[in-house]
């Protein structure tokens, strides 16, 4: 998701800069920071449910399916 957002932002920025006849300045550091934040959010919000699922007894989990 983060890579797709960065790509869409760069493409949209290039189109807008071309239409406005302006120069696009791409801050590479901000792109890297955005990817790191997206990764941290994905790992953070994915860790807890995965941890809980891994600690369940498979028979107990399947009983409620």
Unique residue bearing structure tokens 């071309």: 18
* pLDDT for position 43: 93
The pLDDT tens digits for 17-34 are 889 998 888 888 888 888
Q: Report residue 43 as tokens.
A: 């790992």
pTM of the model: 0.57
Unique residue bearing structure tokens 């107990």: 60
Q: Report residue 39 as tokens.
A: 């990764």
What percent of the chain clears pLDDT 90, i.e. is strictly above it?
20
**Residue 64 in this model has a pLDDT that exceeds 90:** no
Domain residues for 38? 2-63
Contact partners, residue 38, CB within 8 Å, separation at least 6: 1, 2, 5
Please provide the average confidence, as pLDDT, over all residues in the chain.
86
């Amino acid at each position: 998701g983060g890579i797709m957002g960065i790509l869409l932002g760069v493409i949209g920025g290039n189109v807008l800069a071309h239409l406005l006849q302006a120069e696009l300045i791409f801050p590479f550091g901000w792109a890297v920071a955005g990817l790191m934040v997206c990764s941290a959010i994905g790992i953070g919000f994915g860790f807890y449910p995965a941890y809980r699922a891994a600690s369940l007894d498979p028979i107990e989990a399947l009983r409620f399916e």
